[in-house]
Structure 1
Amino acid sequence: MVLSSVLGFPRIGAKRELKKATESYWAGKSSVEDLLKVGKELRAHNWKLQKDAGVDLIASNDFSYYDQILDASLLFNVIPERYQKYSLPQIDTLFAMGRGLQRPATDSTPAVDVPALEMVKWFDSNYHYVRPTFSHSTTFKLNGQKPVDEYLEAKELGIETRPVLIGPVSYLVLGKADKDSLDLEPISLLEKLLPVYAEVLQKLLDAGAKSIQIDEPVLVLDLDEKVKAAFKTAYSVLAEKVPAAKLILATYFGDVRPNLDAVKGLPVAGVHFDFVRVPEQLDAAVEALSAEQILSVGIIDGRNIWKADLNKAVKFVESAIAKVGKERVIVATSSSLLHTPVDLENETKLDAEIKDWFAFATQKLSEVVIVTKAVNGEDVKAELEANAKSISARASSSITNDAAVQKRVAELGEKDTKRASAFAARLEAQKSLNLPLFPTTTIGSFPQTKEIRVQRQKLNKGEITAEQYEKFIEKEIQDAIKFQEEVGLDVYVHGEPERNDMVQYFGEQLKGFAFTQNGWVQSYGSRYVRPPIIVGDVSRPSPMTVKESKYAQSVSPKPMKGMLTGPVTILRWSFPRNDVSQKVQAQQLAFALRDEVNDLEAAGVTVIQVDEPAIREGLPLREGEERSAYVQWAPESFRIATSGVKDSTQIHSHFCYSDLDPAHIKALDADVVSIEFSKKDDSNYIQNFSDYPNHIGLGLFDIHSPRVPPQSEFEKRIADILAVYPKENLWINPDCGLKTRQWDECRKQLTNMVNAAKVFREKYA
């Protein structure tokens, strides 16, 4: 019989129970016991849900209080000394590494002041992982036994699970050398790490685990020969040390074919492939397997919310069965369902026609099971017919198609993609802004307080009028501007109090989007987002931000940035259509934003920031035609949005939490860019941007942490940057927006930042 498998399930809870529990613990409002209790309840619920749905192979150790890669670092004792010296409880060490920790001394505890580890995007998703950080002094050893404990926890509930671990090669490749060990190549630590992996595997076997999922997602990247060879080393050692372990090696998010030589012959029980992303790799995948190895067929999309075409999926699995036999096939999700909302049944306000097109994580369990039943010869005719009806209805819906939008994109020309003048001429025209050396600014948002959220809820419930809400927002804008005056910034923002999310806010005002009430997915830690869903061709019916930006500019003579989210980021941070290319969707969004940018300029806003933090995230994972095309159309989409303004209007953009390529940033031709930088340890990262021709601000403090860096730390950062970057071109700013911080934290952080800028302004006066 063919078995069904789910590679992982969302851990956040259908009603964001994990967010509430962790933030309550961080705030000191609940105990660690309270937090652990919520975690245990969520795990039990998720396992039971999958068992009741009929899933055969259910993942355990897919739960985390912050991030699964950070969990692995804690498990393997990859804890830099700066965290170990405080002798914190394990859960607090985890959180300190993930978000930093700063607290004063008490009678019983010493003061703690430690920044977070670097956080970066998980491949091409909007999930962020905490990057493992290695040094010459890293000593691998088991620090607890979380995978075993959670396997036994499920077993006590009568549920057999398949524990999941990040693979040893991927774990090292996804990490980096610490700032005091920059000559260290992480993959060189493999020999020291493998005995600890073997110890975990043996403990899982002793606990009764029948099979173990080992995720090696780096197999979809361009790998050098040293890394490819590491797979042979790693799995040969593990097979020798733990010969009874039945390992299923899992890949996802891309094409494994260029690295199949690293997979072929590995002593593992089977290999999982993502056939949603790359269905054409089936023949090569089968050829790489031995006559005994299992083929796990990832055919239900773990990354998007559209219903699977189940009839098509059944045919694909049947083609796999024809190649290897029924006894060697598993039907699976393409990846963990971490990237999808928990349950469509929680959506009570979605249009019924549109809702019928979706499948969230809970519904995807049924999809996996239906496909499995179909290929096993069970009667699921009614389910397949209902699915076919939904697929057909979506394709022919009037919601999907807008002839005017399609015509505008079809008529796209070179005039739509270039500013009127080169940067030098624009810079001259922008002297009218009267900015000092080292101009200071923030990225856009200020704290979203409880009062803001309460007023927004009152508006949504009809408890206050639109006029009352508008007056409240105007007062919030006034307060934000007064705050910036007091801190001493040079270029202001209005603070975005009216915005719920940097993508959702725009999607709600664009035609072609649908929205959820509870469609939350984890972005990082306790930061969850509700991605909009692009259901049809996109256009802008009316201005979206002009009223608030115009009001803010009227309150102060200082330059006030109009704040927009860029086309690629709106695309990437939404659930995109799967029936139209991402290029076309980005172009449609770009034209909608072009109208907004032009309206902002007409309203007197002369500094406009169009953020593109997801532009690196969208970069195809491998070199090749797809990537070459992306690096053309992605920046072009940005230029479509921004190229209709005068030379005197200054265009900004912002990027964060990715390893950026300066060439991609240069192609945007923004006047000023700001880039997350505070947790970058490698001075070469500054050097990468040393010849960037336009203006740049490398972020000086971590906005995800409550920690307040002292002024001396800011001054050192600025000095390091100025060692390789021209002073005339440098802006001073945080890593990202300040939405998640508290006002008192912002005041202290920004005051130290501004005072540091003044030191250098005086130095070069």
Structure 2
Amino acid sequence: MLKHNLGYPRIGIKRELKKACEDYWNNLITSKDLFNIGKTIKINNWKIQEKCGIDLIPCNDFSFYDHVLDMSFLLGNISEVYSTKFKEDIDIYFAMARGIQKNELDLKAMEMTKWFNTNYHYIVPEFEPNQKFGIYSMKLFNEIDEYKEIINKAIPKPVLIGPISYLYLGKEKNKIFNKFDLVDNLLPIYIEIIQRLIQKNIKWIQLDEPILVFDSLTDQIIKSFKYVYQTINKICDDNAINIIVTSYFDSLEEKNLDIFKNLSSRFNLHIDLVENYSQLTKILDFLQKQKMGLSLGIINGKNIWKNNYTHSIKLIKQAILKLGKERIMIAPSCSLLHIPIDLECETSISKNIINKMAFAKQKLYELNDLENILNGNKEKLCNNLKYFDKKKQCIIKQQITKVHLNRKNSFHIRQKTQQKKFQFPLFPTTTIGSFPQTKEIRKLRKNFKNNVITKKTYEQCIQKVIIDAIRTQEKINLDVLVHGEFERNDMVEFFSDKLKGFVSTKNGWVQSYGSRCVKPPIIYADVKRVSDMTVKWISFAQSQTNKLIKGILTGPVTLLKWSFVRDDQPYYETAYQIAWAIREEVKSLENTGIQIIQIDEPALREGLPLKNKHWKFYFNWAIKAFRLSSSVVKDETQIHTHICYSEVNDIIKYLSDLDADVITIETARSKMELLNAFSNFSYQNEIGPGVYDIHSPRIPEVKEILNLINKASTKLPIKNIWINPDCGLKTRTWHEVINSLKNMTTATKIARQQHS
């Protein structure tokens, strides 16, 4: 029984990759320096996994920005817009990911969206009719050579996104063709990649096909799957190479099993038993009639709690009994990219909580423990049992009624009340909330936290930067201002530090996209609000200006999804607890005179189940949680929400059910394509389509912003349109922010004249 891993965190234990990439972008290090740092991280990752006893160690899971973008590079799917502008491939790569604006060069970044139901973002591949592919990047093959120089015992296992999932994750640049028609162009390149790996004496390859869990795959996609894997099957038989086809994040859809009929014993199917262990019986029944092996995703790759060995051993034994030990492998449920690296770096979490946790490194040791238990080590099983024999904690429940979930009047009545009160001009302007988190701001918070400066000094400094931010916004002539969130380290961690039932880590960093890392807090008990969380600083900001200040809160679904959540009660119960806490904060803001309150829910689409049949149940509790948090205010108080980097076409009805007065969404990278859903649905509430991409350092020109405003004006009622950036501005520099916002307000003035 082999132990393998699907992928390991690539940011480095001290976020070395983040710092290296940002230094390279700022011309502080060379590409050679960057590659050396990347190589050091890879080698450390391989050595850790070898020490943990992993038999098959993933290669090619390391990336300088995104593994989907890496796949596009490997396959030569690079637009001439980027490929002809740079001498070094790494600069082409980063231009595709981030865009660039330097001297006379002005390139926009490619579209970015969420990786299934996670907070990881990937760069969306783009396809043209009769797209040609060909091996371009040598990164994969060079990495195999690097591995063999370092690791002697464990077997290297290259990781690739499978061909059908790669096509699925991309988009057609020209809608007149179907991207799955490109299978015949793409498959020969995959075959060539496999043959090159065979020449390097590779014996195992992992092909990630996460779309196998969808219950909505078309007949064409199923047919393409069968064609691709029957073709690859022949190569495997002829060359004695083993393939692991991985599915994860949900159960493998039963009708999709037909894809794997009559494949050889060189094929192994990986399933996620953490998301749904009940699928095992049907998978075993199917495989008993086939020759394939089975990889059991038995360790949770998306949460940080210890594995229940008793439960896992039961599943492993069930599989061995049916297929035999030689056909079974064990692994984490998915790549460990989605959890922190090493629990040993945490020193401040209480013992009774941390003893129940396992980060990436510890989860690999859990695989070893399971193998040892199967071989008769009862001590490890007994030690594990003590973490799972306690009763569930008492659940705080409050009765939720229709009164809690509804505003006093419908949106149309509220809109008239708010228009009369606020008297906003056509196309009112605002930002999403945060302003640049400079080194000085981060150092200020750190010094206060470490008692280097007094509370009085800290608060005086925060007051100053808030006032400066307000004056800047006034000069730019924004209509609705924000206080800038300078006192906040992160939109989730800030609130989790002030709510009971949460605990924060010191070094629990997880990659969100590129160099952007987040530190998800941990929900370990019932959630309660103790006191005001945001009122002090938002009220101070309002006292400094005659313009309206927008209060910014993080919504209940996002606080839930961007945390590691307790697993001893249903998610929705925890969501309701958080919603009650946010509801109290919303009311407190309103009571102190804040008239516009934004409740951010960027994770709403991310939380959507991968199977359509589960959508109704999810949205029932997710929307209920949002409305519970937002419906406490009077009609004249305007509620905003923010949704970013989410495909909204298929969930527009549910977004309408949120009943927010204003919804702001990401639309710049997609060139307003996302607004088609709002237009077709005849969405009634107000919308702020993002008019420029904040994840890129480039400063948008007035003309391009104006074009987007005019494009939005053809899809939405003009009186309902707000103008704002795509997302918060904390990751940008003040130079970028000020000039981008100036161009945004200039474009808005022109649009007002054109549409008045």
Which TM class, normalised by the smaller chain length? over 0.9
How far apart in 1 are the matches of 2:674 and 2:58?
Answer: 40
Do the aligned partners of 1:232 and 1:266 also contact (CA within 8 Å) in 2? no
How many Å apart are 1:687 and its aligned residue?
A: 4.7
Per the alignment, residue 264 of structure 1 pairs with 261
> In the alignment, is the contact (CA less than 8 A) between 2:556 and 2:625 conserved in 1?
yes
2:267 counterpart letter in structure 1: A
The aligned counterpart of 2:339 is: 340
Q: 2:166 aligns with which of 154, 167, 171?
A: 171
SS in 2 for 1:739: coil
Equivalent-residue separation in structure 2 for 1:453 and 1:704 (angstroms): 20
SS in 1 for 2:157: strand
Matched, 1:664 2:639: no
Contact 1:552 1:560 in 2 (8 A): yes
Aligned residue among 718, 731, 734 for 1:727: 718
381-390 or 658-667, which deviates more? 381-390
Structure 1 residues not aligned, in runs of 5+? 105-110
Task: Name the counterpart of 2:196.
Answer: 203
Please name the residue that 1:463 is paired with: 452
Inter-partner Cα distance in structure 1 for 2:544 and 2:305: 45
Alpha-carbon distance in 2 for matches of 1:392, 1:34: 50
Give me the whole-angstrom Cα distance separating, in 2, the residues matched to 1:136 and 1:292.
38
Sort the Cα spacing of 1:270 and 1:682 in 2 relative to 1 into closer, same or farther, 3 A: farther
Is contact 2:690–2:724 with CA below 8 Å preserved after alignment?
yes
Deviations 1:691-726 (Å, cap 9, x if unpaired)? 110100111111000111111101111111111211
Evaluate the alpha carbon distance shift between residue 501 and residue 424 of structure 1 in structure 2; reply closer, same or farther with a 3 A threshold: same
Give the equivalent residue in structure 1 for 2:33.
34
Deviations 1:298-318 (A, max 9, x none): 000000000010121111101
Aligned-partner residue type, residue 253 of structure 1? F
Q: 1:183 to 1:682 in 2, by over 3 A?
A: farther
Confirm whether residue 254 of structure 1 aligns to residue 250 of structure 2.
yes
3-state SS in 1 of match to 2:566:
coil
Aligned to 2:114: 121
Matched letter for residue 340 of structure 2: P
Residue aligning to 1:646 = 634
Kindly indicate whether the alpha-carbon contact (under 8 Å) linking 1:80 and 1:138 is maintained by their aligned counterparts in 2.
Answer: no
For 2:439, the equivalent position in structure 1 comes to: 450
Match of 1:108 in 2: none
- Residue identity matched to 1:338: L
1:494 to 483, 489, 495: 483
- Aligned residue identity for 1:142: I
Shift of 1:744: 0.7
Residue 273 of structure 2 corresponds to which residue in structure 1?
A: 275
Asked if 1 retains the 8 angstrom alpha-carbon contact of 2:667 and 2:674, the reply is no
In 1, the alpha carbon distance for the partners of 2:260 and 2:101 equals 44
Question: 1:265, CA displacement in angstroms?
Answer: 3.3
| DSSP-derived class of the 1:74 partner | helix
**Cα separation, 2, equivalents of 1:48 and 1:306:** 24
1:223-234, aligned counterparts within 5 Å? Answer: 223-234=217-228
Contact 2:672–2:708 (8 Å) recurs in 1:
no
User: Once superposed, what is the RMSD of the aligned Cα atoms?
Assistant: 1.4
What amino acid maps onto 1:21 in structure 2? A
Q: Give 3-state SS (helix, strand or coil) of 1:6's partner.
A: coil
Is the 1:673–1:697 contact (alpha carbons within 8 Å) kept by the matching residues of 2?
Answer: yes
Return the letter of the residue paired with 1:246: N
Instruction: Give the distance between the partners of 2:116 and 2:674, measured in 1 at CA.
Output: 22
Partner of 2:617: 629
What is the CA–CA distance in structure 2 between the aligned matches of 1:265 and 1:593, rounded to whole Å? 54
Matched AA of 2:616:
S
Cα distance in structure 2, aligned partners of 1:232 and 1:531: 39
Distance 1:559 1:116 in 2: 33
Is the 2:261–2:290 Cα contact (8 Å) retained in structure 1? Answer: no
2:518 matched to 1:529? yes
Mapped contact 1:169–1:227 kept (Cα < 8 A): yes
Give the match for residue 369 of structure 1. Answer: 368
The CA distance in 2 between the partners of 1:332 and 1:325, in whole Å, is 17
- Native 8 Å contact 1:131 1:174 kept in 2: yes
Q: Which amino acid aligns with 1:312?
A: H
Counterpart CA distance in 2 for 1:389 and 1:733 is 52
The 8 Å contact of residues 477 and 552 in structure 1, kept in 2 or not, is answered as yes
Query: Which residue of structure 2 aligns with residue 145 of structure 1?
Result: 138
Does structure 2 conserve the Cα–Cα contact (< 8 Å) formed by 1:686 and 1:721? no
Question: What amino acid does structure 2 have at the position aligned with 1:305?
Answer: I
Residue number in structure 2 paired with 1:107 = none
SS in 2 for 1:140: coil
* Cα pair 2:436 2:731 within 8 Å, conserved: yes
1:558 alignment counterpart: 547
1: CA distance, partners of 2:179 / 2:129:
10
Please report how far the alpha carbon of residue 478 of structure 1 lies from its aligned counterpart in structure 2 after TM superposition: 0.4
- 2:356 aligns to what? 357
Task: After TM superposition, give the deviation of residue 241 of structure 1 in Å.
Answer: 4.9
Cα drift, residue 148 of structure 1: 1.9
* From 739, 742, 745, the counterpart of 1:751: 742
Deviates most, 91-100 or 130-139: 130-139
Change (3 A) 1:471 1:629: same
Q: Alignment partner of 1:555: what SS?
A: coil
Q: CA distance change for structure 1 residues 340 and 500 in 2, over 3 Å: closer, same or farther? A: same
Alignment length, in residue pairs? Answer: 744
Choose 220-229 or 354-363, whichever is displaced more: 220-229
Counterpart of 2:753?
762
**Deviations 1:550-588 (CA, angstroms, capped at 9, x unpaired):** 011111111110000000000000011111111111111
1:618 paired to 2:607? yes
Asked if structure 1 preserves the Cα contact closer than 8 Å seen for 2:397 and 2:577, the reply is: no
Task: Name the CA distance, whole Å, in 2 between partners of 1:264 and 1:88.
Answer: 47
| Shift of residue 78, structure 1, vs aligned partner | 0.7
Find the partner of 2:229 among 232, 235, 241.
235
Deviation per CA, 1:110-139: give whole Å up to 9, x if none.
x32111111111100111111111113632
Q: Which letter maps to 2:312?
A: A
**1:296–1:687: structure 2 CA closer, same or farther, 3 Å change rule?**
closer
Q: Which amino acid aligns with 2:519?
A: R
Q: TM-score, normalised by structure 1?
A: 0.95
Q: Does structure 1 residue 133 correspond to structure 2 residue 126? A: yes
Shift of 1:236: 2.0
Rounded to whole Å, the distance in 1 between the matches of 2:594 and 2:566 is: 33
> What is the distance in 2 between the residues matched to 1:485 and 1:463?
33
State the Cα distance separating 1:85 from its structure 2 match: 2.5
Preserved CA contact (<8 Å) 1:163 1:211: yes
Match of 2:429 in 1: 440
Tell me which residue corresponds to 2:666: 676
* Aligned partner letter, 2:39: K
- Change over 3 Å in CA distance of 1:24–1:322 after alignment to 2: same
The 1:741–1:45 alpha-carbon spacing in structure 2 relative to 1, beyond 3 Å, is same
Could you say what secondary structure the match of 1:391 adopts? coil
Amino acid at match of 2:457: Q
Q: Map 1:56-135 to 2 at 5 A.
A: 56-104=55-103, 111-135=104-128
Q: Which of 538, 548, 557 is equivalent to 1:568?
A: 557
Name the stretch that deviates more: 139-148 or 660-669: 139-148
The aligned amino acid for 2:553 is: L
Q: Is the 8 A contact 1:506 1:544 kept in 2?
A: yes
Matches of 2:501 and 2:182, distance apart in 1 = 49
Candidates 670, 679, 686, aligned match of 1:695: 686
CA contact (8 A) 1:3 1:372 kept: no
* Residues 1:154 and 2:143 are matched in the alignment: no
Equivalent residue letter for 2:707: K
Contact 1:60-1:164 at 8 Å conserved across structures: yes
Between 1:676-685 and 1:649-658, the stretch displaced more is 676-685
My pick for the range that moved more, 295-304 or 254-263, is: 254-263
Residue type of the alignment partner of 2:23: S
Amino acid corresponding to residue 557 of structure 1 in structure 2: N
Name the structure 1 match of 2:178: 185
> Distance in 2 between the 1:277 and 1:687 partners?
31
Alignment TM-score, normalising by the size of structure 2? 0.97
Question: What is the alpha-carbon distance in structure 1 between the residues aligned to residue 46 and residue 132 of structure 2?
Answer: 34
